[in-house]
Amino acid sequence: MIDWPRVRQLRDEVGSGEFDEVVAIFLDEVQEALTRLRADTNRSGFEQNLHFLKGAALSLGFKSLAKLCQDGERHSAQGQSQMVDIAQVFAVFETSRIEFKSGLDRL
């Protein structure tokens, strides 16, 4: 679910002091994108929001979320946004977030 080598790489790149700020910004921005997805009842912005989520997830090592968003982005680009299971996106994010936060202590 989490790509821990990527998380370590990011922490090493930005430094441990800045890492906490990067994580906080990531979590805030992902919450905002998820809120936009939930509010997008006609799914007109799904491709753009899923693309953003995919990139953010990859940068912080949320590999399961990134894969799910990549698939959803592809479906949306093909005019099949109704195939995106938004509840699954939320569930995978929440599970990933919990695993990430608990795993940070082991870094």
Distance CA 93, CA 91 (A): 5
Assign domain 4-106 to a CATH class. mainly alpha
- Nearest alpha carbon to residue 6 among 54, 51, 63: 63
| Residue whose entry in the numeric block shows the structure tokens 């994108």 | 33
Distance CA 54, CA 65 (A): 7
Mean pLDDT for the chain overall? 94
Q: Is residue 6 predicted with pLDDT exceeding 80? A: yes
Q: Is residue 107 predicted with pLDDT exceeding 80? A: no
**CB-based contacts of 89, cutoff 8 Å, min separation 6:** 34, 37, 50, 53, 65, 68, 69, 72
- Which residue ranges make up each domain of the chain? 4-106
pLDDT, tens digit (0-9, with 9 covering 90-100), for 37-75: 999 999 999 999 999 999 999 999 999 999 999 999 999
For range 33-39, the mean pLDDT: 95
